[in-house]
Amino acid sequence: MEPPSSTSKADIASDFADECNNADTLEELEEILESLSDSDAQHSPDNGDAENGDADDRPHPDVDGQSDMEEDALIEEAKEQMPSDAEVEEMTTKLKERGIIAWLQEYVVQRRVPLKRLLLAYGIVLTPETAALDEVIHLRLLKAALTRVLRKREKLEAYNTIDDVLVLLKRSKRVMVLTGAGISVSCGIPDFRSRDGIYAMLADKPELQLDDPQQMFDIDYFKENPAIFYSFASHIYPSKFKPSPCHHFIKLLEDKNILLRNYTQNIDTLEHAAGVRRVLQCHGSFATATCVQCGEHVAGQAIEADILAQRIPYCSSPRCAPANTQPALRRVKKKPPKPKGAKPWEVDEEEDELVGILAAPGIMKPDITFFGEKLTDDFDRLLFEDREKVDLLLIMGTSLAVAPVADVLSHIPHSVPQVLINKTPVAHANTDVMLLGDADTIVQYICDELGWTLPGVDSRKRRAAAAEPRRVGASHVWLFEGSEGGRWLQRFQDGVCMGTSTQTVKRLRVV
């Protein structure tokens, strides 16, 4: 019998190349890394070697065990091996424009650049212990470093004014619109995080006994106590609401054939009510519902009466209904009767008894994405396609607080202009132009300036009553009616007036 052959690092790299070249989304890439961790790592040359011991006996990184002198020595040695500033700049430009998958395919798969050198390019110095670990661990460290770089988008200095926004809308052909609850507030649907939003409403309802308002939309909590969700769902059910000017603005972009896609985090389906066709409801909607027990899929109207009546809707599928009429035998504990004259403490042991219990049918759940549930595959697939086409990103009515939708900004090419239209600033999103205020007022103003007709709005009356927007110094921030900047805006205004700036200093980190 032939001795078992050891798999070389070149073989591992080749396998990774094949899988990586077939990866179309970040989620698929993560699955590849997971599989490499589970399978390829056990074939590395050091594993199973009697001299090195088992994999669990190998040293693990212990940064705290490194003295300051040792760390300084590692950093000095790393500086001699680091790529040049020009090389790092080229790498980073490609990363920001092409994304993680294409970047890994070029530098790891095609060019076979050593992972340690790529890590050095982004300021990560490996200790001898970490360097001895399997390469899949180094890949994960690299992916984390690349993700951190992508999240630090630099503002495009060419765009700062409202006129710049108007020019962008005139010349753009593939506009991606990312929307949140803020565009539906004027319709009567509360947003989530404002002082009058859904979470504030839930916090004022002690009878719900929620440890945290977000429990209302937690999938595990829903399965345990669906009555809590259905006691509140009627407040956000879309049957009685009509689209806002923001929804009509998105439809206007589509009618002008410049809407690439509307990625909405909203579950109210008001985009459909406005007639928008190129829309992806990232967090699902009330349009359909599914039985949590048998998987029966129905139109949302089938459970509408139950939602409005604040009662739990049950599945009527034959796969669930028989359970409501045919008793199931279950073993339960039953105490035997006490003999006459027995003392209270003289209790016989419980006995098991088989009894027939009516099993309840499954509960219907609207197809909205709860905390703890994954987004649909359509999100990754369409974003991967659209990132190659988009030439303008509009962010409207969202605080970008929930991943992975919030990460859209970092995963499209960084050279694509980004414009924020929101009531409050989004400090962690370094957009190119920030239009703060009532979103409906802002889109109406934009349409007036462009000579576009927004359905259902008398622009002459609106323009006569509305105040003109105010620019913060010579910055990219503009204030419309209804803006709420808070402490961030005050600090920003102070910084603009003082002419302060920040400069990032690159530092090496030992891991």
Would you list which residues are annotated within the binding site for Zn(2+)?
291, 294, 315, 320
pLDDT above 80: residue 366: yes
- The CA distance from 92 to 500, in Å, is 26
- Whether 181 contacts 191, CB under 8 Å: yes
pLDDT, tens only, 149-161: 988 889 999 999 9
Highest mean pLDDT among 207-221, 267-281, 372-386: 267-281
Residue 191 has pLDDT above 90, yes or no: no
Is the pLDDT at 389 greater than 90? The verdict is yes
Q: What is the pLDDT of residues 215-244, one digit of tens each?
A: 888 898 888 888 888 988 888 888 778 899
Q: Six-digit token pair at 201? A: 């409403």
pLDDT given at position 272: 92
Q: What is the band of 511 on the pLDDT scale with cuts at 50, 70, 90?
A: low
DSSP state string for 249-315: HHHHHHHTT-EEEEEE--SS-HHHHTT--SEEETTEEEEEEEETTT--EEEGGGGHHHHHTT---B-
Window from 250-254, 284-288, 324-328 with minimum mean pLDDT: 324-328
**What is this structure's pTM?**
0.74
Q: What is the mean pLDDT of residues 354-378?
A: 76
Percent of the chain with pLDDT over 90: 31
Does the pLDDT of residue 460 top 60, yes or no? no
CB 420 within 8 A of CB 435: yes
The Cα 165–Cα 117 span in angstroms is 41
The confidence score (pLDDT) of residue 341 equals 59
* Known binding-site positions: 291, 294, 315, 320
Residue ranges, comma separated, of all CATH 3.40.50.1220 domains in the chain are 155-189+244-282+377-511
d(CA 78, CA 116): 10
Residue type, 118: L
Q: Is 283 a known active-site residue? A: yes
Residue written as tokens 């399997």?
134
Say what the pLDDT of residue 309 is. Answer: 92
Q: Say yes or no to pLDDT of 408 above 50.
A: yes
Which H or E element spans position 357?
strand 351-357
Mean pLDDT of the chain: 78
Question: Average pLDDT, stretch 94-109?
Answer: 90
| Statement: residue 33 has pLDDT above 50 | no
pLDDT of residue 46: 40
> Which DSSP string corresponds to 409-473?
HHHS-TTS-EEEEESS--TT---SEEEES-HHHHHHHHHHHHTPPPTT--HHHHHHHSPPPEE-T
Q: Sign of the C-alpha dihedral, residues 46, 47, 53, 59?
A: positive
pLDDT at residue 197 greater than cutoff 90: no
Number of Cβ atoms within 10 Å of the Cβ of 166: 13
113 pLDDT above the threshold of 60: yes
**pLDDT of 500 above 80:** no
Rounded to the nearest 5 percent, the helix, strand and coil shares of the chain are: 45, 15, 40
155-189+244-282+377-511 adopts what CATH topology? Answer: Rossmann fold (3.40.50)
248, 283, 414, 476: the active-site residue: 283
pLDDT at residue number 451: 94
Q: How confident is the model at residue 459 (pLDDT cuts 50, 70, 90)?
A: low
Model confidence band, residue 280 (pLDDT cutoffs 50, 70, 90): very high
Residue 85: per-residue pLDDT: 86
